[in-house]
Chains A and B, each alone.
Chain A
């Protein structure tokens, strides 16, 4: 039996537990790579061929860059968002549905660590797919690096925010329809209207104002700024919002675990 009476023993135990959750998530991603890693690579290739190459060549420049260069960061970020979210929502709901979430609930792991573990699983998949789509992008266009620090910070924060979002969705979901409803009807439209394919400067004033209420615009813009040095929004505001979203969603996720909503009777 593990003696958890001291704080250092608990820390050590928690660290091993966290690594176990992440390892299990990583194994799951690799085991079903055809569902987790491949689709985004195929979709990104199609986007680059159709929007970037065929249609993009007629669009000309956007934000002072070739259209292909402009949309590349947006497409990478889109894949990070959908995969971070998708990994956590499907994995955590699967664990609830298959009842093996109980393995974690009966263990000494604290609730906050279970949330972080699943979020880290989303991060692993989001970053893996982001890296794959980046490689695909590099086959079609030259990616400039304006600020690697901003790129890394933006992608990490965004992935964590959507991992937490997926976790909360999975807590409330009662069936498999419920885990596809939010991504299909909310996340995808927000992503498409979040400046992935265009600069909001092209929009009429009213649409530009509405776009500023879309959180994904800030994430995509911050990420694009890291590559190109151009952004539709204030970068400081973007990072402030991402951190605020992360803090609020983390608090909600841990609160739901404490109350046992959807997981304890």
Chain B
């Protein structure tokens, strides 16, 4: 069964902006999908339509086979959403925010109290349960929204940039938590600007740009489409010019930094051998960018060229 099935979804806003131009997307149950795209690509509009915060112009959305047009309540009961912006009553206590949210899904207060303890503890917010939500730090507010979204134990969890503006340590613990609930069977759709996060967590990736899905495949297959990889080499001894290197495109960034672009799969020993023969001593080496980021940039810029965009 598909956790989410979208067909020919279109959205044109009142000002004439066509945010979605007929997208199709299937997310199998249990999947961990990264929905990526540049700002204004249509990610948030898509999520808004799935969660009923945005009215669609055309197309259909099914959540666990419940059609949003016909079985809205049943579809909504399957969904949990963590939005981009804080959207809880900041004057309520942390505990009230999650317990009230459960009530809106028909969960009794007794059950809600038990779940509140479970999820607030898991997200390291239990000690703050009596605190007014406004007093929480940015990272805590994000975690509170995740706890709130889990209170009715949804089968599909959608997170719209949940780690934006969150420090590294909290981001790491949130990743671990998301991986854990996905392993428990919750289907997850994640949008993020941290592409290394998507690469690390997600098994499937869909890239949306200018209202169209331009890539939709397994993470491994998508990354396999990368033909070139770029490495940055920090040199021990400065060099004045780039030596002749066979089959390697090199750029001298500064006298102690060399950037080399190699065909994926080529042995690094060969590269080091040529550099060594040219008298270049490499002190350290790193990837120029994250692999998914590299692919993402390539796809989005290809799409811009194809569409005549800037």
Contact = CB atoms under 8 A, between A and B. Distances in A.
B100 A2 contact: no
Contacts of A177: none
Interface string B71-83: 0111011110101
B60 interface: no
B76 A98 contact: no
Interface string B140-179: 0000000010001111000000000000000000000000
Interface residues of A, number: 35
A72 B67 CA distance: 55
Given A16-B107, A17-B106, A110 B54 contact: no
A257 to B, nearest CB: 11
Contact of B54 (A4, A10, A109, A264): A264
Nearest to A9: B106
Contacts of A23: 100, 103
A210 interface: no
B13 A2 contact: no
Nearest to A18: B103
A29 to B, nearest CB: 13
B126 interface: no
A24 B104 CA distance: 11
Given A2-B77, A106-B79, A107-B76, A20 B13 contact: no
B196 to A, nearest CB: 29
Contact of A16 (B51, B53, B79, B103): B103
Interface stretch (B85-93, B280-288, B300-308): B85-93
A102 B83 contact: yes
Interface string A50-82: 000000000000000000000000000000000
B52 interface: yes
Given A105-B53, A265-B54, A98 B106 contact: no
A181 to B, nearest CB: 24
Contacts of A265: 13, 48, 53-55
B221 interface: no
B297 to A, nearest CB: 29
Most B CB contacts (10 A, CB to CB) among A21, A99, A107 go to: A107
A236 interface: no
Determine the main DSSP class of A at the interface with B.
helix
B274 interface: no
A16 B87 contact: no
B153 A1 contact: yes
A260 B106 CA distance: 23
Which among B51, B73, B79, B107 has the greatest number of chain A C-beta atoms within 10 A?
B73
Interface in A206-265: 260, 264-265
A103 B87 contact: yes
B106 A99 contact: no
Contacts of A106: 51-53, 76, 79, 81
Contacts of B73: 4, 10, 13, 108-110
Interface string A101-124: 011111111100000000000000
Contact of B103 (A9, A17, A31, A102): A17
B290 interface: no
A45 interface: no
B108 A16 contact: yes
Contact of A4 (B88, B100, B106): B106
B48 A108 contact: no
B101 interface: yes
A108 B91 contact: no
A5 B78 CA distance: 11
Interface string A84-107: 000000000001001110111111
Contact of A1 (B85, B108, B154): B154
Contacts of A141: none
Nearest to A259: B55
Contacts of A19: 103
Most chain-B Cβ atoms within 10 A of its Cβ — which of A17, A104, A106?
Answer: A106
Contacts of B89: 95, 98, 100
A132 to B, nearest CB: 23
A135 B230 CA distance: 80
Given A1-B155, A2-B152, A264 B52 contact: yes
A102 B88 CA distance: 8
B96 interface: yes
Nearest to B11: A265
18 contacts: A1-B78, A1-B154, A1-B155, A3-B74, A3-B77, A4-B74, A4-B77, A13-B73, A13-B77, A14-B106, A16-B107, A100-B87, A100-B88, A102-B53, A102-B87, A103-B101, A106-B52, A106-B81
Interface of A: 1-5, 9-10, 12-14, 16-17, 19-21, 23-24, 27, 31, 95, 98-100, 102-110, 260, 264-265
Given A13-B105, A100-B87, A103-B87, 4 more contacts: A2-B77, A12-B106, A103-B104, A106-B52
Interface of B: 13, 48, 51-55, 72-74, 76-79, 81, 83, 85-92, 96, 100-101, 103-108, 148, 152-155
